[in-house]
Chains A and B, each alone.
Chain A
């Protein structure tokens, strides 16, 4: 693949806690092609979320270079990184991070609000997205009035609001039953088929096998990159 959506060169993220140092990422180099579908696996604490945050311009690596669309984001200004987050990247947090006082629909509208999308258009698109994740009947619920899986789906809908070229999803199906999980995976496949780049973290082999390849992390290092010979297709399995 000649055209890379994301490239990591020897990325390190080190936390210093007193005299103890934690290498959350310990020299990670990775190329994620445009339009590819990659899964990240690894034990708890292996640095998966840290990797996602660094790629999503939410966090700055201690060392190394992170390129998004060929641009070194570690060199960008805060405003430029915000711009990338706003219209290039859609991020699904492991802990959802929804606005607690806003309804599901308002949460999904939020990224569009900051991009200056008009009110009626925003509303229409938020409704559409929530329906596509099966929450058409929960639009006016606040996060604390939703189940864990429903919150997760609001977070997914929000990540897709600005039709991002790169979707970063940190355990997007962790709280879902198998049917809903299949729906979400089908949604990702659809997006991928439409040319969006997808990077997702998961603990489940079966979920990871929907991707083209699996990156195995261990102690902040890439242990293995596994190409999937026979991808699972959610759309077919389910319907």
Chain B
């Protein structure tokens, strides 16, 4: 019986893996095809079914002036995503700690309401925010610029960071802070020297969410930039023309997915380990 269970389990895992990996493989093979490999019906195996070509990849790094080059958008996307994520993480962690440990009151507003206010920012459809953001950036002279995008992305990512970290800190027993103060820390010292190191998994999760949401955003990157600045998702869409270049679209999609895959592997051990459980008892 256990043998059967094992077999079924592995079968299920294999099936799911195929489900996840197949589109990526499809994109990978497509990225090495030329127009003949794509339009002449489905082809699968390089050299047998079609003649592999680096055309799709070469088009992405065209420095000759006429074609596109996704190198710069890639770098800009990385700067915007990492910058906004880092700032959101710092601000969000501090805000979340305050919301988890201290009681705030302003009229009928309590901690819970403040947390909900943060989350509610993500309930609104982005289109509602587009025009206000546009006007604000215009006012600040930051339209079509990296600092402007960072600013907007902070507004988008901060709620996520606060939300994840409030929940995390609420699960870190207060006694840890109290013990640190008994041992001679100031309240801020207790946070930085004891609570934060204990909460590293939470910070990693929050950071991961920030990076994913920031990196994948198309809407604001599209509406708030014109010519000077272009982020990766927008650049990829811009590859499209009258004849859809499946090969270079596939290649660029892979390039755009790659950093997230790398990040996922890096933080995997934090996600799978029950690190919090050891903090108390």
Q: Are A and B a genuine interacting pair, yes or no?
A: no
**Chain B interface (Cβ < 8 Å from any Cβ of A):** none
